[in-house]
């Protein structure tokens, strides 16, 4: 199981390009923290409903490595808290399918910035693997007994937990679980 933004797709890179074009006076500090500035939080929620959300690029080596999981018979499921606008949700699924054809068995979309405890609880004790970039959602995976990985970024590298394995790319995950 995997998060999408900051793990499968390069959300920050795309959002920063959007800011440069439409709000050159602003700068993104930490894309997983809703409260860094209320103005940014509202901008993020709005951005997730723009046409831009259909055109994110894969993060790092995701497009090279994720298909290997599928080829080896894994079920690949995503959970993304992008918000619930139906057309934005369709764009997201199209964007994922464009870069990862037939890789994802399911893409679950939950409300904007909603914590993932409840979603993850359906896999409690399953031994499934969980990949996140948001620290609180990584810990939520640990709480459910999942094999949890944190995709390392500048904004999350400070955090530590014995049950969260930090990685820099998908190859490092594949090397441990495939």
Interface with Mg ion by CB under 5 A: which residues? 3, 5-6, 133
Query: From the CB of 5, what's the least distance to Mg ion, in Å?
Result: 4
Interatomic CA distance for residues 13 and 71, integer angstroms: 29
Helix axes 170-177, 62-71, angle to 10 degrees: 20
- Please say which residue, 5 or 58, places its beta carbon nearer to Mg ion: 5
Query: From the CB of 177, what's the least distance to Mg ion, in Å?
Result: 20
Tokens matching residue 113:
């910035």
- Please say which residue, 11 or 123, places its beta carbon nearer to Mg ion: 11
Interatomic CA distance for residues 121 and 107, integer angstroms: 16
Start-to-end C-alpha separation, the chain: 14
Residue with tokens 């995701």: 62
- Please say which residue, 81 or 147, places its beta carbon nearer to Mg ion: 81
Query: From the CB of 14, what's the least distance to Mg ion, in Å?
Result: 13
Query: From the CB of 32, what's the least distance to Mg ion, in Å?
Result: 6
- Please say which residue, 3 or 28, places its beta carbon nearer to Mg ion: 3
């Amino acid at each position: 199981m995997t998060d999408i933004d900051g793990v499968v797709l390069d959300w920050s890179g795309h959002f920063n390009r959007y800011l440069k074009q439409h709000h050159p006076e602003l700068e993104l500090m930490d894309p997983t923290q809703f409260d860094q500035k209320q103005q940014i939080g509202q901008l993020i929620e709005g951005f997730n409903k723009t046409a831009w959300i259909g055109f994110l690029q894969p993060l790092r080596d995701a497009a090279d490595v994720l298909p290997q999981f599928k080829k080896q018979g894994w079920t690949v499921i995503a959970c993304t808290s992008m918000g619930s606008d139906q057309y934005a949700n369709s764009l997201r699924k199209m964007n994922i399918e464009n870069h990862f054809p037939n890789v994802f068995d399911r893409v679950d979309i939950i409300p904007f910035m909603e914590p993932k405890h409840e979603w993850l609880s359906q896999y409690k004790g399953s031994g499934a693997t969980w990949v996140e970039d948001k620290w609180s959602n990584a810990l939520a995976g640990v709480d459910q007994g999942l094999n949890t990985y944190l995709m390392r970024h500048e904004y999350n590298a400070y955090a530590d937990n014995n049950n969260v394995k930090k990685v820099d790319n998908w190859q490092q995950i594949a090397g441990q679980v495939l």
